[in-house]
């Protein structure tokens, strides 16, 4: 079946502009995660959604970052007033329910490469 898809694959934006990154998880996966991969910081957790529970936003680096998940499926990560340090690859992942033996088995999308000029 289809894996996790993300769009766009590449995004170049000017400093100060807002961007939206989209993630389509694997059908039936109730948990969805956003990570950021950058040269200086490695792979960092940003936010995760589990079913209808309130999202865990503990990894968001500033209030310029937000995310939502509509209908328990598609998710959008929004970065407002982008800065050069936001340049990174943004990865989305999904998994079956968190509280199971499959804990930690996440399926990753190809990522969106964001470049802020």
Considering the complex, what minimum distance in angstroms separates the CB of residue 117 from another protein? Answer: 24
Residue carrying the six token digits 């766009």: 8
The DSSP string of 27-73 is TT--EEEEEEEETTTEEEEEEEEETTSPPB-TT--STTEEEEESTTS
DSSP run (H or E) holding 115: strand 112-116
Considering the complex, what minimum distance in angstroms separates the CB of residue 77 from another protein? Answer: 16
Q: In angstroms, rounded to a whole number, what is the distance separating the alpha carbons of residues 76 and 111?
A: 13
Residue number, 4 or 21, with CB nearest to another protein: 4
Binding residue (CB under 8 A) for another protein from 91, 94, 114, 116: 91
* 111 neighbors 37 (Cβ within 8 angstroms): yes
Is 82 a binding residue for another protein by CB under 8 A? The answer is no
Binding range to another protein, per CB under 8 A, among 17-25, 37-45, 63-71, 76-84: 37-45
Is 104 a binding residue for another protein by CB under 8 A? The answer is yes
Binding range to another protein, per CB under 8 A, among 7-15, 44-52, 63-71, 73-81: 44-52
Is 42 a binding residue for another protein by CB under 8 A? The answer is yes
Nearest in space to 84 (alpha carbons), one of 113, 114, 40 = 114
Is 59 a binding residue for another protein by CB under 8 A? The answer is yes
């Amino acid at each position: 079946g289809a894996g996790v898809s993300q769009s766009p694959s590449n995004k170049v934006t000017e400093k100060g502009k807002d961007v939206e990154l989209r993630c389509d998880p694997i059908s039936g996966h109730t948990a969805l995660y956003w990570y950021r991969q950058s040269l200086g910081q490695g792979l960092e957790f940003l936010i995760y959604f589990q079913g209808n529970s309130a999202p865990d936003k503990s990894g968001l680096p500033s209030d310029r970052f937000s995310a939502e998940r509509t209908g328990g499926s598609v998710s959008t990560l929004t970065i407002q007033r982008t800065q050069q340090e936001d340049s990174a690859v943004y990865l989305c992942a999904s998994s079956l329910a968190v509280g199971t033996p499959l804990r930690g088995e996440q399926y990753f999308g190809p990522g969106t490469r964001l470049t802020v000029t």
